Structure 1
Amino acid sequence: MTQLTITPKKVTGTVTVPPSKSMAHRAVICASLAEGRSVIQNIQLSDDMIATIEGMRGFGAVIEHVDNQLIVEGCGPKVSRVTSEIDCNESGSTLRFLVPLATLFEGPTHFTGRGKLGQRPLDTYQDMFKRQSLRYETGQSEQLDLTVEGRLSPGTYEMRGDISSQFITGMLMTLPLLDDDSTIKITTHLESIGYIDLTLSVLAEFGIEIQHDAHYRTFRIKGNQRYQARNHTVEGDYSQAAFWLTAKQLGNDIKVEGLKRDSLQGDREIVSMLEQLTTTEHERTIDGAQVPDIIPTLALAAALTRGKTKLINLERLRIKESDRLMATQKELAALGANIQVVGDQLHIEGVESLKGGADVWSHKDHRMAMMLAMASTVCEAPIQLKDPTCVKKSYPNFWEVFQEVGGDIHERNMG
């Protein structure tokens, strides 16, 4: 176990944000399913990305990492996998994208993982496999231990849109490769539409055609399609930029570079949400349903904004790498914030400053660790952060960048 002591200090300088993990997952999968060579530029090997790369290697793609790019020789239409064992580590994207793709192969596929991955919802796929009499077996422990076998049939799929858009993305990637047309009908309100837009844009770039209605309720997918090899550059990640943009709002002299202004990333809403905090007086309500990943850092900004803020529709925060709803409240309160959990909401009353001087925990959640790093810059006394290395999941050089712009950290190994 590692603990960091972070001494309050303003950070100053220019930060180039890492590439979008969401877009990189999609690009790697599409390139791996294409026939021929693709080059994916601006890649960072976070733990989640390594899981997807290794998964697609297991499916037969040849992937070489050179500098900050991947050279991908796709497995094409005649897929021939290398292994039936897929280790997803803690990556929900890897798991939910690759489960339906595994049905393209003969024989069983065994998915393993770590952390809370085995506790995150998979009922959407379990029900789907059961309806088609396909094999879907789970182990008895809380760790991910899932075996699937059998080929999905083309047809009409009814799917919930309020659990995770990752299930829909997995099916949008798989159904075009089946031998007839399919339809996906969304049976509930669709959350995280921005992530579906990302999926559709990358699929289109790699030659896959999918039609949908104006309200994203019905997706029509032609069968017998083929992925086309392409060169692709991954844009900067608004999810990671959110921490630095929050630091800037809190008075740090930080310039953020590498973002695409017209990005389809849903988390680009951090820009307008931070603005709303400063332009709306006394009391404000912000809906977090579409952007669960940026809520911890938005809560930090709200905690130091005069007036009351309600962050609503946060139920999905409970099924992330940690229960981010409770974790955000607990750790910010420990630093001196006035914040409560009310149902699926966070109610925050702004304070003048954070006292710090407390032991806090990342909950082994990368986004909690980075939020607490930014909180330290506006604390009155040092904080001690337990389990900071979880940032490797999405932003492996975060602590190096934090130090480069003036962050004051001292590591202690707790044994």
Structure 2
Amino acid sequence: MANLKINPSRLKGEVKIPPSKSMAHRAIICAALSEGLSIIENIDYSDDIIATIDAMKSLGATIVRYKDHLEVIGVYGVPKKAKDFRIIDCNESGSTLRFLVPISLLFSGSSKFIGKGNLGKRPLTTYYNIFDNQGIEYSYEEGNLNLIINGKLKPGVFEVEGNVSSQFITGLLFTLPLLNGDSKIIITTEMESKGYIDLTLRAMSDFGVEIINNNYREFIIKGNQKYNARNYRVEGDYSQAAFFLCADALGNDVLCQDLDLNSLQGDKEVIDILERMNVVFNSKDTDVKGIINGELIATIIDGSQCPDIIPVLTAVAALSKGTTEIINASRLRIKECDRLAAVTSELNKLGAKIIEKEDGLLVTGVEKLKGNVEVWSHKDHRIAMTLAIASTRCEEPIVIKDYECIAKSYPRFFDDFRTLGGDIHEWNVGK
């Protein structure tokens, strides 16, 4: 267990935002399903991305890692084949798991999916229903990720709920164009996280695969398509930029670099939400910085399309005038931890006034946070980073337990935090 002591300080300077984890997952998969050599630039080797790299290698792709780029020879471009039995270690990456389950069914033999943390608690019923309908053999262990599947996916009509996780839909979108017949995905409920589907369709199109999107109600997929190898640069990640854009909202002075203002990332909504809360953004080329226009004010935040940025927005809401209501955020309960419970518990320790609801939060703003307390990341990267940003408005130091979980998505977060003036120290409690 690693703990970090943070003395309150104002952040100031420039930070190059890490490449988008969402787009990196997608680019690696598309390249690995192609017939030739792709070079993927601007890669950050977080635990989740390493999981997807290793997963695609287990299916037969050749992937060579360099400092900031990958060379990928796709599974259909070389005689190397996936083993008849392969173990796919997803670590704690929900994206890797849900993207790779249907992809693995392109290949003969069996796949065993393993992982750790809360990954085994994330629902996979959507896929189990498909397995049952298509006669695909599978076994799993309740509460732990120990899923074994054997069979090949067949083209057809797939009915999928849109309010569980867009990752199921993305996994099918990646896979179905490679089958020897046409398919259709029918969405049976209101679609959440549409932005992630947009990212999937954009990446697939960039690699030469086209899908018809009928207003997120159904997706028409021609079979017998091929992914084309290409060179690809991963854009900056708005879900990580959100931490420093929210730091600006809290009175810090951070310029975020390498952000595409025309990005399709759903988490780009952080800018719209903060603007409603009285933050003005200045941008030039790919540089973005926020400035408070007077005082922060409460708003209503819909978490259905941007769940990953809700924890850090809660920290901003905790210091805004009035009561902010966060709605449609029940999916945060099945992330790396129950994020609604975790952010409520830990920010309230700092003096916030947050009431937890079944599918959201009520956040009544306070003028400042206290500190002089030990808080816990719940071993969730987004909770750890949220608490670090909140520390900049604390009156006294805080200690974050289990801070090293940031390696899941943003390994150098605390390096950047320190470079910006963050006063941080490794801390052994009780010594």
TM-score using structure 1 length: 0.97
Q: Which amino acid aligns with 2:152?
A: R
Maintained 8 Å contact 1:281/1:307: no
Q: Deviations over 1:288-319 (max 9, x none)?
A: 11110000010100111111110111100000
Counterpart residue number, 1:248 = 248
Give the C-alpha shift of residue 414 in structure 1: 6.0
Counterpart residue number, 2:292 = none
1:10-409 counterparts in 2 under 5 A? 10-76=10-76, 80-82=81-83, 84-140=86-142, 142-213=143-214, 215-278=215-278, 284-409=299-424
Q: Describe the SS at the equivalent of 2:395.
A: strand
- The list of structure 1 runs, each at least 4 consecutive aligned residues, that deviate by more than 4 angstroms after superposition, is 279-283
Kindly tell me: are residues 281 and 240 of structure 1, through their superposed partners in 2, closer, same or farther at Cα, counting changes over 3 Å? closer
Distance 2:129 2:244 in 1: 40
Distance 2:383 2:256 in 1: 20
Maintained 8 Å contact 1:173/1:203: yes
Distance 1:300 1:277 in 2: 12
Q: Which runs of 5+ in 1 are unaligned?
A: none
Q: Deviations over 1:185-237 (max 9, x none)?
A: 00000000000000000000101110111x21010000011110011000000
Give the C-alpha shift of residue 139 in structure 1: 2.4
Q: Deviations over 1:16-55 (max 9, x none)?
A: 1000000000000000010110000000000000000000
Give the C-alpha shift of residue 284 in structure 1: 2.7
Distance 2:6 2:345 in 1: 18
Maintained 8 Å contact 1:76/1:227: no
Distance 2:313 2:247 in 1: 10
Aligned residues: 413
Q: Describe the SS at the equivalent of 1:298.
A: helix
Kindly tell me: are residues 248 and 106 of structure 1, through their superposed partners in 2, closer, same or farther at Cα, counting changes over 3 Å? same
Q: Deviations over 1:114-172 (max 9, x none)?
A: 000000111100111011111121125x3310001111110111000000000000000
Maintained 8 Å contact 2:60/2:80: yes
Q: Which runs of 5+ in 2 are unaligned?
A: 280-294
Q: Deviations over 1:95-123 (max 9, x none)?
A: 00000011111111000000000001111
Q: Which amino acid aligns with 1:391?
A: I
Give the C-alpha shift of residue 361 in structure 1: 0.4
Q: Describe the SS at the equivalent of 1:109.
A: strand
Instruction: Please report the RMSD computed on the Cα atoms of aligned residues, expressed in angstroms.
Output: 1.5
Distance 2:129 2:95 in 1: 19
Q: Describe the SS at the equivalent of 1:356.
A: coil
Distance 2:412 2:326 in 1: 30
